A and B are shown apart, each in its own frame.
Chain A
């Protein structure tokens, strides 16, 4: 019933972790958190549920982390892109240690699961992949929880995404979060605008199938992001009784996020 390695730490990002299947995998899932989140913490029981579900025995699972209090969204997207290029062949790139005795992977499918700000990173990564002509772009799907790809109410985000005492203090000590400016829908010519116009162009010209999210989930009445249809994405699923932060955190009682992700497989 345990079909994956323990979490293997990665030198890419912050506290990124990889769980590799002991079997020959055909899929890769990459989780990308949002503002104030962390590689695994954002996703609560997702890791356990995936690792123990027979559906994912042949799936490698990567949780990517980055420091949302430093750098711009564009910086993190570029680093995530570089990471994914390496993650496509994890053995060769050393993300999967050779001592594990596992074979190199050949993925038929890559799913990027992103939350909030992570959705901006994920979309930007796909555009970078398109411009670079990498092979994995066409087999990549997006699954987005409370995506902030149309901007966010950053004050609400700062207070909702940073519930802990440490992060409240983070605000106090005058950290400047350039990334919050990236999320501000009123910032002209920001990354949000850029992504949208490029995505729209690709979709209109029939080359943007890969940019259409296959799963979009919002918390009903989310106070941080607005549920507005994003170009050719699938219509959003709405989950009542959850918050912007809680919508992607499955637990024993609330397993909707996990069930929705399973529906993609």
Chain B
């Protein structure tokens, strides 16, 4: 799709969903609170309202803000469907960030009424999206997006469904006939008794209770349609799971409030549907005084049973929260990926235990979102990536003791990076003549560290500036030059660690009308990187951990002396509950055996916590050690 088409799609969506009605009102509400700096009142408006209700104007405003939040989620899903560009226009992104970063709104969707998709939407549009591949020309995805929007609209417009979803969302409704308020538990009571259910469904004028019950039944019908929709896009797991999560708040609420109840509710629905008078009622209504046609009640009973069984199956399918983990995993890796600074390879001591080990690790990763798991395709070993050395030890311990799988582990590997410290100019000419048509590409560029201003924009670590003028390098080849440099960043010049950031300014070059092609320019960029990068004074960076140690006073000095040997930078000393508290920055590489040492120094009475803080350049002398160690482990190609 062209950018013009993307823009057209976005503008159309805005006309329908953003610029009018609840969504527009929602934005006006948010804007007025922000303008008036009235955060306290705004926070109060978006409070968790139990045990009191929210009524009138306040309730309307909350619904309008809900519509606004859903609009942003709809945009995100539009990108996943390939209907919208990953880079929406600046105004839309700014508005989205303004709203979804507002502290009161963050509390609203993260703490009070958890709606995880919104966090993902904000993250997606606030961080680097260039890696994200938009499904191209995927008619199934775009078609599904259209149907998805329609289904949402039906949900929003059906009075009964709105009542039921409101009850799920802790809203209760005044009900004159009941002289009180109708809440979700009232609906559950009705569904729990076939005779009451029959009575409520037979009411000519629906009261709030009946609306809630009808809302449940209609919602179940919509869930069946959702299931078909999600099944139709099984090859787009991110889109599939995002669509699921769009309604995930209600699914979670249903799971929490109703899950144990479904068997009974559907059993009662089945009983009601199998009532003998069912067909007769229809026939009487239609034929009135005429002779009734032949009725086949057995057929009807079969149809009714099938309908309830199918509905129950659809509900259970839709409410299975593990079914759509793709998007959670995607963001889990985006969030925790950069924090996993230590890795270790594991394999079972007995090869036949490999399946048990896999199962154990899968279970661990499900429970622990900070744990990263990869398969080394070269060695077949499983690589565990952890956020610190304690996390790593704990994980290994759990595999051994909790899952009872004996394992061999490799040497823990610290996630080093590399960085450039100088900018240099370079010209690279790629020329090949091996019979037939030759290859030719010529580029002139500057290579160096990325600008701070660029890095602060959160667009990732690769800054590419195209200053080529006069068509000396045709526009069509530029993306391939860019790609050549970008992929080269994965293997730094010092020891093959990824480069943290890099800026390439392309300012010149030349081409040959016959012999130049995209591949030649990509290879030229890769060769140019290899030649020039050494001149840009590369260094190795290491992860620095912030540690906090709690120790009885008598061990304090020994601990401090030991820390100094570990290249620590002391940050502070304090007292807490008669214990000394010590905080310091320590390179991760120096922490690998720290738990043992600390236990030994303190006779098991000191403890510590640690978390990743930042990357810092490795001192020259240590850098030599690292390189030597790596060389002996064949990490570096000679």
A and B found bound together: yes
B-contacting residues of A (Cβ < 8 Å)? 1-2, 5-9, 15, 17, 19, 22, 38, 40-41, 45, 47-49, 51-52, 97, 99-101, 154-155, 158-159, 163-166, 168-169, 171-177, 180-181, 184, 186
A-contacting residues of B (Cβ < 8 Å)? 1, 5, 8-9, 11-13, 15-16, 19, 83, 137, 139-140, 142-144, 146-147, 149-150, 153-154, 157, 198, 201-202, 214, 217-218, 220-221, 224-225, 269, 272-273, 275, 278-279, 281-283, 285-286, 290, 293, 295, 299-300, 303-304, 307-308, 311
Q: A165-B311, A166-B220 are in contact. List 4 more A-B contacts (CB 8 A).
A: A2-B1, A41-B225, A97-B15, A180-B285
Verify A154–B286 contact, CB threshold 8 A: yes
Verify A6–B13 contact, CB threshold 8 A: yes
Verify B146–A51 contact, CB threshold 8 A: yes
- Compute how far the CA of A80 lies from the CA of B147 in the bound complex, rounded to whole angstroms: 23
Min CB gap A91→B, angstroms: 13
Instruction: Select which of A1, A165, A171 is within 8 A of B281 by beta carbon.
Output: A171
Verify A174–B220 contact, CB threshold 8 A: no
Verify A8–B16 contact, CB threshold 8 A: yes
Residues of B within 8 A of A159 (CB): 299-300, 303
- Compute how far the CA of A73 lies from the CA of B8 in the bound complex, rounded to whole angstroms: 39
Min CB gap A205→B, angstroms: 35
Verify B150–A165 contact, CB threshold 8 A: no
- Compute how far the CA of A101 lies from the CA of B280 in the bound complex, rounded to whole angstroms: 54
Q: Which one of A7, A164, A169, A176 has the greatest number of beta carbons of chain B within 10 Å?
A: A169
Verify B283–A155 contact, CB threshold 8 A: yes
- Compute how far the CA of A52 lies from the CA of B143 in the bound complex, rounded to whole angstroms: 8
Residues of A within 8 A of B308 (CB): 165
Residues of A within 8 A of B221 (CB): 164-166
Verify B139–A48 contact, CB threshold 8 A: yes
Verify A168–B281 contact, CB threshold 8 A: no
Verify A173–B202 contact, CB threshold 8 A: yes
Min CB gap B512→A, angstroms: 35
Verify B293–A166 contact, CB threshold 8 A: no
**Nearest chain-B residue to A9 (Cβ)?**
B153
Residues of B within 8 A of A100 (CB): 12, 15
Verify A165–B286 contact, CB threshold 8 A: no
**Mind listing 24 A-B residue pairs with CB under 8 Å?**
A1-B1, A1-B137, A1-B139, A2-B9, A2-B142, A5-B16, A6-B149, A7-B146, A17-B150, A38-B154, A47-B146, A99-B15, A158-B282, A159-B300, A163-B303, A166-B214, A169-B269, A171-B279, A171-B281, A172-B273, A174-B202, A175-B285, A180-B285, A184-B286
- Compute how far the CA of A103 lies from the CA of B35 in the bound complex, rounded to whole angstroms: 38
Verify A176–B307 contact, CB threshold 8 A: no
**Nearest chain-A residue to B277 (Cβ)?**
A172
Verify B143–A40 contact, CB threshold 8 A: no
Min CB gap A225→B, angstroms: 16
Verify A168–B273 contact, CB threshold 8 A: yes
Min CB gap A34→B, angstroms: 16
Verify B147–A169 contact, CB threshold 8 A: no
Residues of A within 8 A of B303 (CB): 159, 163, 168
- Compute how far the CA of A1 lies from the CA of B6 in the bound complex, rounded to whole angstroms: 10
- With A22-B8, A163-B307, A172-B281 as known contacts, state yes or no: A99 contacts B19, CB within 8 Å: yes
